[in-house]
Homo-oligomer: A and B are copies of this chain.
């Protein structure tokens, strides 16, 4: 109900809010955040610019929600893995790496690419940064639980964590310059590489 839209389109199945999020995801990742106007987002979602404000307070809210949606599933999986303390840490770390690469490269738009936006550093997105820091800490803990990692001094452990985490996030850049690469094999190869960096 409510006034009909000016331009009717086939039903996407998504709620208007989700249509806005999907439109924002595509535009933010391809054109950038600042370069994307509220009009562009609204129109791609099938409504007029002003109608967008019925669902969200503005662009910021869209970016904040998209950002969190990229890390939250990773963190959930990472925590599951961390809890399984009877399986060897090596295999769990490998699983985490593979899954993260698949999550980063899997979606329709390069959602991980949102993390590259300079605006993301703003205080407004502290929530995202907190979740990301937790995810990184899970990497550190898994690394420390491996046989090779258990022997490391703290500073060396931190360094390896940064290198492994950097490799995984660097995947966003690789994916950006070659979006059509088959994901599964690439995710496994990256996980292999991560373990080699970790010293396993």
Interface residues of A (CB under 8 A from B): 28-35, 113, 115-119, 121, 159, 162-163, 165-174, 178, 186, 189-190, 193, 196-197, 199
Selected from B32, B113, B165, the residue in CB contact (under 8 A) with A174 is B165
Nearest B residue to A167, CB-CB? B167
Contacts A159-B189, A197-B196, A197-B197 known; A119 to B166 CB distance under 8 Å?
A: no
Contacting residues, chain B, for A163 (C-beta < 8 A)? 167, 174, 189-190, 193
Task: Taking A115-B173, A167-B167, A169-B173 as given, write out 16 further A-B residue pairs in contact, using a Cβ cutoff of 8 Å, ordered by the A residue number.
Answer: A28-B118, A29-B118, A30-B121, A31-B119, A32-B32, A116-B173, A163-B193, A166-B167, A166-B174, A167-B197, A168-B170, A169-B170, A170-B170, A172-B173, A193-B197, A197-B197
User: How many angstroms between the C-alpha atoms of A170 and B33 in the bound complex?
Assistant: 21
Best-surrounded residue of A34, A117, A186 (most CB of chain B within 10 A): A34
Interface of A is mostly: helix
Contacting residues, chain B, for A196 (C-beta < 8 A)? 196-197, 199
In the assembled complex, the CB of A62 is this many whole angstroms from the nearest CB of chain B, namely: 15
- 18 A-B pairs with C-beta separation under 8 A: A30-B118, A30-B121, A32-B32, A32-B34, A32-B119, A34-B35, A113-B118, A115-B173, A159-B186, A162-B174, A163-B174, A165-B174, A166-B167, A166-B173, A166-B174, A167-B170, A170-B171, A196-B196
User: How many angstroms between the C-alpha atoms of A169 and B168 in the bound complex?
Assistant: 11
Selected from B118, B159, B169, the residue in CB contact (under 8 A) with A117 is B118
Whether A35 contacts B197 by the Cβ 8 Å rule is no
In the assembled complex, the CB of A67 is this many whole angstroms from the nearest CB of chain B, namely: 14
